[in-house]
């Protein structure tokens, strides 16, 4: 990348070329993940949509191809709630290196009852955190084979006010869905920062970066039929919300910057400029509780046990 491009301010509508690189976006078939994939496809990279639903992935790929001439998009069947399936999913990726994985897919429940994955883990912790934790282990050889790969974890402002309970990571007691969601996102962000510390200690070329979309509403999102459709009426009625939050296309911007910007470093947190809720991507200070090494170590050990992963996650 030339120094001219390096010194230019980041422009979300004018992304640098990433031709020859391969990116995997979990949950790339819908929501923010779709827009991350669409934006990354404009760089000339190969973009793989990790999605459990073949039809939705097909619709997302057709939409991207119709908007991005020459887009190179593929589908990888991927169900993060099924930990035992992840190794064979990665085996089917059929690439010799991976330049970035975006840990974007997520589930957020608003109401009880507490639900579990088929492996018996609380659904949000199991999918959002454990699924991505286990996936990282299987992707480690491919990430290490790239010259400077990135693991980009999508966090949330919901994690700011939460604290992890190492004695009850899976919310078996006093289950409250919003709190369990916030804790699952905090677990992901804690993992993202801890992973970077471990990668640095292992002298790895791989970086781990955390990004979050701010507040991103479907009703403020541009239509991409049939992937997402926003009627003019719905858009109009949600315009007051646009003072505070944004749509999912804009929610993708900090994530895409965390993947592509050569100035981004491991261990950083990126989010939207305006109150961390909307706007152009900028670097944010990392809240102390997200990078606390003692909590991170407890979470790491518990995650290895739950996911049957090696402590080094394949990065040596
Ligand atoms: N929207 C916001 O305001 C906001 C704010 C902060 C953080 N976030 C984070 O941003 C990310 C994307 O959110 P979003 O609003 O775009 O959500 P969304 O529209 O609900 O999309 C979620 C994506 O995750 C996929 N997914 C769910 N469970 C999965 C599983 N078991 N295996 C594979 N994929 C699975 C979904 O696939 P299916 O289509 O198959 O269900 C879908 O592609 C999440 O990590 C979320 O926590 C969002």
Q: Domain spans of the chain? A: 18-216+245-307
> What pLDDT score does 316 carry?
82
Give the predicted TM-score (pTM) of the model: 0.97
Ligand 1 centre to CA of 188 (Å) is 13
* Per-residue model confidence as pLDDT tens digits over 1-33: 444 455 789 999 999 999 999 999 999 999 999
What superfamily does domain 18-216+245-307 belong to in CATH?
NAD(P)-binding Rossmann-like Domain (3.40.50.720)
Q: Residue 186 and residue 180: Cα distance in Å, rounded?
A: 10
Q: Would you call 239 helix, strand, or coil by DSSP?
A: helix
Nearest ligand 1 atom to the CA of 154 is 45
Ligand 1 centre to CA of 202 (Å) is 31
Counting ligand 1 atoms within 8 A of each CB, the residue from 25, 31, 192, 246 with the most, and so the one to mutate, is: 31
* Per-residue model confidence as pLDDT tens digits over 65-118: 999 999 999 999 999 999 999 999 999 999 999 999 999 999 999 999 999 999
Q: Are strands 278-284 and 269-274 parallel, antiparallel or unpaired?
A: antiparallel
Ligand 1 centre to CA of 125 (Å) is 13
Active site residues: 181
Contact 162, 155 (CB under 8 A): no
> What pLDDT score does 8 carry?
85
Ligand 1 pocket at CB < 6 A: 26-27, 29-33, 52-53, 56, 78-81, 104-108, 127, 154, 156, 185, 212-213, 215-216, 248
Average pLDDT on 275-293 reads: 98
Contact 114, 122 (CB under 8 A): yes
Contact 211, 153 (CB under 8 A): yes
Q: Residue 119 and residue 123: Cα distance in Å, rounded?
A: 9
């Amino acid at each position: 990348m030339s120094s001219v491009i390096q010194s230019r301010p980041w422009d979300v509508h004018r992304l640098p070329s990433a031709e020859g690189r391969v990116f995997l976006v979990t949950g790339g078939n819908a929501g923010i993940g779709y827009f991350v994939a669409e934006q990354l496809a404009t760089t000339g990279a190969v973009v793989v949509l990790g999605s459990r639903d073949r039809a939705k992935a097909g619709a997302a790929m057709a939409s991207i191809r119709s908007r991005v001439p020459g887009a190179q998009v593929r589908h990888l069947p991927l169900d993060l709630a099924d930990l035992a399936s992840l190794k064979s999913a990665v085996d089917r990726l059929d690439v010799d290196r991976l330049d970035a994985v975006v840990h974007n897919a997520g589930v957020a429940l608003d109401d009880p009852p507490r639900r579990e994955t088929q492996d018996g883990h609380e659904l949000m912790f199991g999918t959002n955190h454990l699924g991505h934790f286990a996936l990282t282990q299987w992707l480690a050889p491919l990430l290490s084979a790239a010259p400077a790969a990135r693991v980009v974890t999508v966090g949330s402002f919901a994690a700011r006010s939460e604290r992890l309970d190492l004695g009850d990571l899976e919310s078996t007691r006093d289950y409250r869905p919003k709190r369990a969601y916030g804790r699952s996102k905090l677990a992901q962000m804690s993992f993202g920062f801890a992973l970077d510390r471990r990668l640095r200690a292992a002298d790895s070329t791989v970086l781990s970066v955390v990004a979050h979309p701010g507040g991103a509403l479907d009703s403020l999102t541009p239509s991409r039929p049939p992937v997402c459709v926003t009627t003019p009426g719905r858009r109009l009625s949600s315009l007051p919300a646009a003072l505070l939050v944004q749509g999912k296309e804009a929610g993708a911007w900090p994530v895409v910057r965390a993947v592509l910007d050569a100035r981004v470093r491991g261990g950083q947190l990126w989010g939207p400029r305006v109150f961390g809720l909307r706007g152009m991507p900028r670097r944010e200070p990392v809240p102390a509780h997200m990078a606390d090494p003692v909590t991170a170590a407890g979470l790491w050990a518990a995650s290895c046990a739950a996911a049957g992963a090696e402590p080094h996650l394949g990065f040596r």
